[in-house]
Structure 1
Amino acid sequence: MKTIRSESVALDDLRELLPDWQRHLRATNKAPSTIASYLRVAEQFLGFLVQEGMPTTAASITREHIEHYLVHLQDRPNKRTGKPLSAAEVAKQYRSLQQLFRWLDEVEGEIESSPFAKMSPPAVPERPVDVLTMDQLRRLLDSCKGKSFENLRDTALIRLFVDTGARCGEIAPLRLENKAEDRPSDLDFDADVILVMGKGRRPRAVPFGARTGEALRRYLRARARHPMAARTDAVWVGRKGPLTEWGIRQLLKRRAEDAGVPNVHPHKFRHTAAHEWLANGGQEQDAMRLFGWRSREMLGRYGASAADERARNAHRRAALGDRF
Structure 2
Amino acid sequence: MGALNLDDLKELKDDFATELRRRNRSKPTIDGYLTRIDYFIEFLTENDLPTTGPEVTRDHIGAFIESLLTRPNKRTGKPLTAEYARSHYRALQQFFKYLAAEDIITADPFDKMTLPDAPEQLVEVPADDALRQLLTECAGTDFNDLRDTAIIRLFADTGCRAGEVAGLNIDDLDFAENTALVIGKGRRPRTTPFGDKTRTALRKYLRARAKHPKAKNDETSLWLGYQGRMTDHGIRQMLERRAAAAGIGHIHPHQFRHWFAHTWLANGGQEQDLMMLAGWRSRQMLDRYGKSVADERAKAAHRRARLGDKL
TM-score (norm 1): 0.84
How far, CA to CA, are the matches of 2:8 and 2:197 in structure 1?
A: 56
How far, CA to CA, are the matches of 1:51 and 1:226 in structure 2?
A: 47
**Partner residue in 2 for 1:78:** 73
How far, CA to CA, are the matches of 2:186 and 2:99 in structure 1?
A: 21
Q: Deviations over 1:105-143 (max 9, x none)?
A: 23x122344222312211221132222110101111111
Matched, 1:223 2:209: yes
After alignment, is 97-106 or 195-204 more displaced?
195-204
**Partner residue in 1 for 2:235:** 248
**Partner residue in 2 for 1:261:** 248
**Partner residue in 2 for 1:130:** 124
**Partner residue in 1 for 2:146:** 152
**Partner residue in 1 for 2:309:** none
After alignment, is 131-140 or 304-313 more displaced?
304-313
Matched, 1:95 2:90: yes
TM-score (norm 2): 0.87
How many residue pairs end up in the alignment?
305
How far, CA to CA, are the matches of 2:79 and 2:121 in structure 1?
A: 18
Q: How does 1:167-186 map to 2 (within 5 A)?
A: 167-176=161-170, 185-186=171-172
8 Å CA contact 2:146–2:205 kept in 1: the answer is yes
Which amino acid in structure 1 is aligned with residue 192 of structure 2? V
| Unpaired stretches in structure 2, ≥5 consecutive residues | 307-311
8 Å CA contact 1:143–1:258 kept in 2: the answer is yes
Q: What is the CA-CA distance between 1:96 and the residue it aligns to? A: 0.5
Q: What is the CA-CA distance between 1:278 and the residue it aligns to? A: 3.3
How far, CA to CA, are the matches of 2:119 and 2:268 in structure 1?
A: 26
After alignment, is 241-250 or 91-100 more displaced?
241-250
Q: What is the CA-CA distance between 1:260 and the residue it aligns to? A: 0.9
After alignment, is 197-206 or 288-297 more displaced?
288-297
8 Å CA contact 1:9–1:15 kept in 2: the answer is no
| Unpaired stretches in structure 1, ≥5 consecutive residues | 1-5, 177-184, 320-324
Change (3 A) 1:9 1:285: farther
Which amino acid in structure 1 is aligned with residue 230 of structure 2? L
How far, CA to CA, are the matches of 1:77 and 1:118 in structure 2?
A: 28
8 Å CA contact 1:195–1:206 kept in 2: the answer is yes
After alignment, is 83-92 or 147-156 more displaced?
147-156
Percent identity between the aligned chains? 53
**Partner residue in 1 for 2:279:** 292
CA RMSD of aligned residues (A): 2.6
After alignment, is 287-296 or 72-81 more displaced?
287-296
Matched, 1:205 2:191: yes
**Partner residue in 2 for 1:67:** 62
Q: What is the CA-CA distance between 1:43 and the residue it aligns to? A: 1.6
